[in-house]
Structure 1
Amino acid sequence: MDFDHNAVVAFSKSWGLFYLMAFFVCVLVYALWPSNRARFDRAKHSILDRDDTPWQK
C-alpha cells in the first residue's frame, strides 16, 4: 500500500480530530478523578509551603 501526501492529509483530516478529542477526554477524566484530588492539591500548595518568605538583606 502506497501512502502519498494526499492520503496522509485525508487520513489526518478525518481521524485527527477524533484522536485529539479522545485524548482531551482522557486527560479531563484523569484530572477530575476523585482519587487524584489529594495529589493535585499537594502539588498546588507545595511551591508555597517552603521558601515563601521575603528575601532578607
Structure 2
Amino acid sequence: MDYNLMREFADSWGLVAMALFFVGAIAFALRPGSRKMADEAAQIPLEDGRS
C-alpha cells in the first residue's frame, strides 16, 4: 500500500468510523442510568481509603 491509497482510505472510511465511534460514545454516556454511575465515579477520589 502506498501513501496515497492509505490517505484515501483514512479520508473516507476512517472518518466514518471515527464519527460512528463518537456518536456511540455520546449515546453510551447519555443512556438511562448513567447519571448514578457517573456520580459514584466522581466521588471515588474524595473517599477516604482507610477502612
TM-score by length of 1: 0.68
1:3-38 deviation per Cα after TM superposition (whole angstroms, max 9, x unaligned): 222111111111222111111111111111112221
Larger radius of gyration: 1
The structure 1 segments of at least 4 consecutive aligned residues displaced by more than 6 Å after TM superposition are none
Shift of 1:49: 3.0
**Pairwise CA RMSD of aligned residues?**
1.5
Question: What is the one-letter code of the residue matched to 2:4?
Answer: N
**Where does residue 31 of structure 1 map in the other structure?**
29
For this pair of structures, how many residues does the alignment match? 49
Identity of aligned residues (%): 35
Consecutive unaligned residues in structure 2, runs of 5 or more: none
Greater RCO (Cα-Cα under 8 Å, separation 6 or more)? 1
Consecutive unaligned residues in structure 1, runs of 5 or more: 52-57
